[in-house]
């Protein structure tokens, strides 16, 4: 019996080793921050060679702005020159918990980096997560008045609604917006689950006067057409605005057109573990060429689909994915 039991333990142990080998590949000796910079720079170059006015907005990962990742570091000129704006979540509210103020240390770190962006003509689009009206008011004041950022107070973390408060869009204006530097406000609405049809989404958003719309290329796996994006480009008041497409480059999402149902952690080799906080989102080794080929650089790539649909730019998420490998 002891021999049988020992043999069973041996089988379990060797099986675990085999599974581990199948799912985990040794990390290469890379500068993971520079690899993300290179990714964004190359993506930007590709897009701007097609449309020189195409807008590149990486979200989070502001540590890439300087050589040290701190506010007293030297700005990385190549990266700064490749982007037109930067998105920042939870600088004042929502860093650890929604509707809760971000701790001073984290706030000050992010604020210093975002101020470097502004000083280098990179617009800051700040999103705070709060639903208390006083906190939403504070968010707009801290971002817009105190720091000259453009901001959005999201009352749902899922970004699936147009907030009812404030009743009038903060810094609403009647200016045609053809450059991100002209924008005074934006709507961050990338989850259209509350809309049955694309037409419902288009009607709802078209009835607003936001300067910038950040949305998904797809509604229920159906891509918006260039005509539909053209509709969304008009404010309700008649002026034009910018329409920006969301795209994650630091995680693969199992509900995207590119997903293969045979994929699992380690297969392909650049696919890592699932994000425990977002089901269906998988960390990727973003420096892998096969992943980059999915994102940009060819006519079948995600970015080319966004450009062909007539979007004015792209909003890149999981830029801070380098943290998964440090």
% helix, strand, coil for the chain, step of 5: 35, 20, 45
Contacts of 78 (CB under 8 A, 6+ apart): 37, 41
Q: What is the pTM of this model?
A: 0.92
For residue 313, give the nearest of 88, 83, 54 by alpha carbon: 54
pLDDT, position 23: 54
Alpha-carbon distance of 249 to 157, in angstroms, equals 20
The full DSSP string for 21-65 is HHH--PPPS--HHHHHHHHHHHHHHHHHHH-TT-EEEEBS-GGGG
Alpha-carbon distance of 282 to 271, in angstroms, equals 7
pLDDT, position 1: 40
Alpha-carbon distance of 271 to 285, in angstroms, equals 7
- Torsions phi, psi for 125 (to 5 deg): -105, 105
pLDDT, position 20: 40
pLDDT, position 143: 99
The full DSSP string for 63-107 is GGGBSSSSTTS-B-HHHHHH-SEEEEE-SSB-SSSTTSBPPHHHH
For residue 53, give the nearest of 154, 180, 141 by alpha carbon: 180
pLDDT, position 129: 99
Alpha-carbon distance of 94 to 116, in angstroms, equals 22
Q: How far is CA 32 from the centre of its chain?
A: 18
> In the Cβ-directed half-sphere of 10, how many Cα atoms lie within 13 Å?
6
- CATH number of the domain at 31-250+286-325, please? 3.20.20.70
Alpha-carbon distance of 62 to 114, in angstroms, equals 7
Q: Looking at residue 267, what DSSP letter applies?
A: B
pLDDT < 50 stretches in the chain: 1-22
Q: What angle do CA 247, 250, 253 make, to 5 degrees?
A: 65
CA–CA distances in Å: residue 19 to residues 23, 25, 89, 269, 279: 6, 11, 37, 14, 22
- The domain segmentation of the chain, as residue ranges, is 31-250+286-325
Longest dimension (CA), the chain: 83
Q: How many other C-beta atoms can be found within 10 angstroms of the C-beta atom of residue 2? A: 6
Dihedral class, residue 297 (left if φ above 0, else alpha if ψ from -120 to 50, else beta): left
For residue 40, give the nearest of 13, 69, 60, 22 by alpha carbon: 60
pLDDT, position 25: 81
């Amino acid at each position: 019996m002891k021999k049988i039991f020992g043999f069973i333990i041996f089988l379990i142990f060797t099986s675990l080793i085999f599974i581990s080998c199948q799912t985990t590949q040794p990390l290469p000796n890379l500068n993971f921050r520079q690899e993300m910079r290179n990714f964004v720079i190359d993506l930007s170059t590709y897009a701007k060679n097609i449309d020189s006015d195409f807008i590149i907005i990486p979200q989070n990962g502001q540590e890439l702005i300087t050589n040290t990742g701190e506010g007293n570091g030297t700005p990385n000129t190549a990266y700064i020159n490749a982007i037109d704006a930067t998105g920042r979540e939870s600088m004042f509210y929502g860093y650890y918990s929604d509707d809760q103020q971000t701790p001073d240390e984290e706030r000050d770190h992010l604020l210093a980096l975002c101020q470097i962006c502004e000083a280098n003509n990179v617009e800051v689009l700040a999103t705070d997560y709060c639903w208390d009206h006083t906190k939403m008011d504070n968010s707009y004041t801290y971002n817009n008045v105190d720091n000259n950022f453009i901001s959005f107070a999201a009352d749902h973390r899922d970004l699936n609604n147009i907030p009812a408060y404030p009743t009038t869009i903060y810094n609403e204006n009647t200016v045609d917006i053809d450059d991100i530097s002209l924008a005074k406000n934006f709507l961050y609405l990338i989850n259209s689950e509350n809309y049955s049809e694309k037409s419902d989404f288009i009607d709802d958003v078209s009835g607003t006067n936001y300067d910038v719309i950040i949305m998904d290329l797809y509604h229920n796996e159906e891509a918006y057409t260039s005509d539909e994006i053209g509709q969304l480009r008009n404010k309700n008041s008649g002026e034009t605005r910018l329409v920006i497409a969301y795209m994650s480059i630091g995680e693969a999402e199992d509900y995207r057109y590119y997903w293969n149902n045979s994929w699992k952690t380690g297969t392909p080799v650049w696919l890592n573990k699932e994000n425990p906080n977002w089901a269906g989102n998988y960390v990727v080794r973003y420096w892998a060429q096969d992943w980059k080929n999915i994102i940009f650089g060819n006519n079948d790539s995600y970015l080319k689909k966004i450009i062909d649909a007539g979007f004015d730019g792209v909003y890149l998420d999981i830029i801070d994915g380098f943290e998964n490998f440090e």
